[in-house]
Structure 1
Amino acid sequence: MKLMRLGLPGAERPAVRSDDGTTYDLGALTEDITGAFLAADGIERTREALQHGRLRPLSTTGVRVGPPVARPAAVVCIGQNYAAHAAESGGAPPAEPIVFFKHPNTVVGPHDDVVLPESSGCTDWEVELAVVLGRRASRLGSTTEAFDHIAGYVVGNDLSERNWQLERSGGQWSKGKCAPGFNPLGPWLVAAEDIGDVQALPLRSWVNGQLRQDSTTADMIFGVAHLVWQLSWFMTLEAGDVINTGTPEGVALSGRFPYLSPGDVVETEIAGLGRQRQQVVGTQLEAAR
């Protein structure tokens, strides 16, 4: 079962895709897929409505796919969380999770254009497993308990302007992470119980059809449950919050590949969670003219 949101930015409507590929309107259950909906047993109610045939089929032809969760209050990100990526970045594996934030308004649809920041010469791609919280998580007692607070999983692309992130950082990374549209999310939010071993998911990225990243979540230094558990001791996570859990090796920062330029096409994919495709266009300054 896959939750999704369809329509123009700011006017998306909630939907669900069943296992047979049919898409249904979720408007009978909720106005949108929000943290409040997830916290109110939204996934369970959606599953029950599907099983009892209470939802109306919906055509998706020619309709934009939006991010599958509306207005997350926080996008919490983990840096250098894959052993091979930490090595290609020139650093030792971190002893503690590296945490930074993206502005929630960076979250856009999985196929929306990437508009380069003006003066950007170092915009990079990062395929990531994103976790969506389904319940408030605060000072959790164990990593096992952490799984009870996860609504589901989604493909994310943690786009990064490396010069702003590293050279103009002032000691933190968020400057290079928060340009408009720098967190494509989707196409679906897949319920946690529909994913087998979350630490054995293949994830890949391509630029212009050429494979860049090819790894699995088994290379994570800190696993999903550990991240949710530990973060809950430093902050209160709310339903609908998104955690980007880090990226594997194969990014432009490695020096092996060029950074993104107008005309490039970026694709990211995680097994069972779907595939994204973004066209890189101009710069924000050019787009405003």
Structure 2
Amino acid sequence: GSLIAMRAILEGDADVAFNLFGGFHHGMPDHAEGFCYLNDIAISILEALDRGKRVAYVDMDAHHGNGVQEAFYRDPRVLVISVHETGRTLYPWGGSEEEIGEGEGLGYNVNIPLEPGSDDEVFQLAVGSIVLPLLRAFSPDVLVAQIGADTMISDPLTHLRLTNNSYFWAIRNLASMAVPVLALGGGGYDLYRTARCWTMAWAIFNHVEPRDELAGLGGGMMYGPEMEVGTLMDAANPTKGEVKERAMEGVTKVIEFLRSTVFPIHSL
């Protein structure tokens, strides 16, 4: 599915394509990992490279995209960016900011690990400070985005505290890049919130703003208002106290490191 979608983009049949069942970013060249057998992301990017395209890959899943990193770690034709929960607390136990590529690919692999408890403010600081400037500097022909929704506060497998407000903010910024976009689903283990995230993401990529004023009635009646499944937007839920302080300190150090090591390679 992801390869078909990429071909549609490369042949000019689509400006944006979304494979909800794509995004298997842990798959390795010679073995499966993390529920991922074939790495559809790497295969799709290789198709674009074969046609002479420069590709930017942005991974918003809570888990580090280790398989994609491995595939293009030495390749300057692909800018790989992963914003994820730190590998100190979550599989695949890697994705340090110090992993910035090798050889000709030095500076083209960018990891932004977030501390447990990181919220919308922390995420938006990371994306706004690092991801967006690098995307603009790299100026890709195609953007591939793994938009996993397991960063949400309610996800049972991860430890971040995002609401979909920052998720949609990031999607809007990606959609504004004025390049073709291949979006891939990735993770998300709170099924209700994941469905809402992907519904709104598809709308944003197509420059549509859904109206859901009446949906809250049905959602509240069927599931109870605490589920928030009757609306597409989450209520704000910022982290506080020492957890927030550690999260801000952590992301600030990562930003400073990447600005000093990666930015100069891209003339930033």
Same fold (TM over 0.5): no
- Normalising by structure 2, what TM-score? 0.25
Larger proportion of strand = 1
Structure number with the higher helix fraction is 2
Higher relative contact order (CA 8 A, sep 6+): 1
TM-score by length of structure 1 reads: 0.24
